[in-house]
Structures are given as C-alpha cells and as structure tokens.
Amino acid sequence: MKKAKIYIPSKTATQSGLGKEDKWILEFDTKDTTTNPLMGWESSNDTLGEVKIEFTTKEKAIEYAKNNNIIYKVIEPNKKRFVIKSYAENFTNN
C-alpha cells in the first residue's frame, strides 16, 4: 500500500507573509532511497516521491487518501505564539 503524509508547508526563510498557509499538501513517502555512487546524489526507483498534491482543506486531502486506499498521517501545524511587549522592555534588566 502507498503511504503519505498530509501537512501544511512551513514558510521559507525569505517569506514574511501568510501566503502558503492555506494549502494542505499530500506527499508520498519514498521507498528504497539510495546514494548514487558516481555523483553522490540521492536517488530512488519510486516515482511517487516526486508527487505532491495540493488541497484547499485537510478534509479533502483525507477524503482523497481514503478513496485511493492510501495510508496517511496528518501532521498538524504548530500554533504561533506572539509575545507582545513594548520597545522599552528591550532596555530593562528583567
């Protein structure tokens, strides 16, 4: 059976906005990854490792996985915490 993970991709270091936080990705797990002895690159015979499917909701991704007999694991996004402080708190010794 095929195995996959469902997640929301994290922001890259160059992103400051919330642009990609509304898409859920279904990504297949690759099997038999090996290192190419000539170039040192990672390679695999499993072409499903290249497939990433985007969904608008987590429920649609789960429904797709169930309809296609895919064993899936949902990775929930971490909640963001904001520490609100004033500019003056940068100069206090607390």
The whole domain housing 84 covers 2-11+20-91
Identify the pLDDT of residue 52. Answer: 92
Identify the pLDDT of residue 60. Answer: 95
The share of the chain scoring above pLDDT 70, in percent, equals 91
Secondary structure element (H or E) that encloses residue 67, with its range: helix 58-67
Q: Return the closest-CA partner of residue 74 out of 61, 56, 55.
A: 61
Residues with Cβ within 8 Å of residue 24, at least 6 apart in sequence? 6, 7, 8, 54, 55, 56, 57, 58, 60, 61
Task: Say yes or no to pLDDT of 10 above 90.
Answer: no
Number of domains into which the chain is organized: 1
53: domain CATH number is 3.30.160.190
Task: Say yes or no to pLDDT of 34 above 70.
Answer: yes
Identify the pLDDT of residue 67. Answer: 95
Does the global pTM surpass 0.75? no
In angstroms, the CA 83 to CA 7 distance is: 26
